[in-house]
Amino acid sequence: MKFLVISDLHQKKSRIPWINGIVEKEAPDAVLFLGDITDMGTAEDAVEIVSSIDCAAYVLPGNCDPRDLPEKISEVATDMHGKSVKLQGYTLAGLGGSNITIFGTPFELTEEEIDSALRPISEEGMILMTHAPAYGTLDHIPNGTSVGSPAIGKIISDFRPVVALSGHIHEDIGAKYIGRTLFVNPGPAKDGHAAIVTVEEGRACVRFIGPLDPY
C-alpha cells in the first residue's frame, strides 16, 4: 500500500493544487491527513478543503480543528478519530486532537482520554495515525523539550505498529525506526512538506517531499 501522508495544513488552501499534483504523480492508494486541517476554523472549512483533494482520504482532527470535525468530515472522507478500519489486511487506527498544551487549543485530550480512546481499537502490527506524537520521538520543540503524549508512546510500546504517523510538531520533521516500528512526522503541509509511506509485507518505508520538490 502506498499513502500520501500530510498534516498541519492550517487552512492554507493555496497548497491544494500542490497536494493534488502529488496525488497525480505518485498515485497513492489514499491520503492520510493527520489533522490541523484548519487554523481554528470551522468543520465546514475542513470539509471544503478535504473535498478538494483528488483522492480517497482518511482524516483526523488536529488540536487546532473544531470538536465537530469528525462528524462533519465523514460527508467527504473517512473519519479516523477514535476509529479503525481494515485496509488490505492491515488495521488502520487513528486518534486526533492532541495531549494538553499550554495554548488551550480547541481539541485537546488528557492522557487518560487518549489511552481509553486508542487502546480498544489498537492491534499488533497496525498502521497508526495520530495528530500528536509519542513522547520522546519526533516531538521536540526548538528548545529541545519533548511535548508528545506518554499515552501514545505506551500504545506503541504495547502494540508495536508497523508505522506510527504523527504531525503537530512542525519543527521535528523526520523518521526513525524504534524496534520494528517506523515513526514518521511528515512536517507541515502549509510549508510544502509531505511524505510518501509504503507498507509491504509488514515493513514500512518513507520518502519525504519538501517545498523545493517539483510537484
CATH code assigned at 172: 3.60.21.10
pLDDT (0 to 100) of residue 67: 98
7 within some domain: yes
Residue appearing with cell numbers 480517497: 56
* In a domain? residue 214: no
Q: How confident is the model at residue 11 (pLDDT cuts 50, 70, 90)?
A: very high
Instruction: Write the DSSP symbol of residue 66.
Output: -
Q: Work out how many domains the chain is built from and give that number.
A: 1
- Looking at residue 41, its pLDDT comes to 98
Domain-embedded: residue 215: no
What is the residue range of 21's domain?
2-209
Q: Per the domain annotation, does 26 fall within a domain? A: yes
* Whole-number Å distance between alpha carbons of 34 and 115: 18
What does the DSSP assignment read for 61-80? --TTS-TTHHHHHTTTSEE-
| Residue 100 confidence (pLDDT) | 98
Question: For residues 120 and 159, is the Cβ–Cβ distance under 8 A?
Answer: no
pLDDT tier at 113, thresholds 50, 70, 90: very high
In a domain, 201, yes or no: yes
Measured CA to CA, the distance from residue 62 to residue 102 in angstroms comes to 15
Would you say residue 199 lies in a domain?
yes
| DSSP conformational letter for 133 | P
Q: What is the pLDDT of residues 41-74, one digit of tens each?
A: 999 999 999 999 999 999 999 999 999 999 999 9
**What's the pLDDT score for residue 215?**
87
Provide the pLDDT for residue 156: 98
Determine if the pTM surpasses 0.75: yes
- On whether residue 30 sits in a domain, the answer given is yes
Asked if the structure places residue 17 within a domain, the reply is yes
In this prediction, residues 3-19 reach a mean pLDDT of 98
pLDDT tens by residue, 89-104: 999 999 999 999 999 9
- Average pLDDT of the chain is 97
Taking only the tens place, the pLDDT of each residue in 184-196 is: 999 999 999 999 9
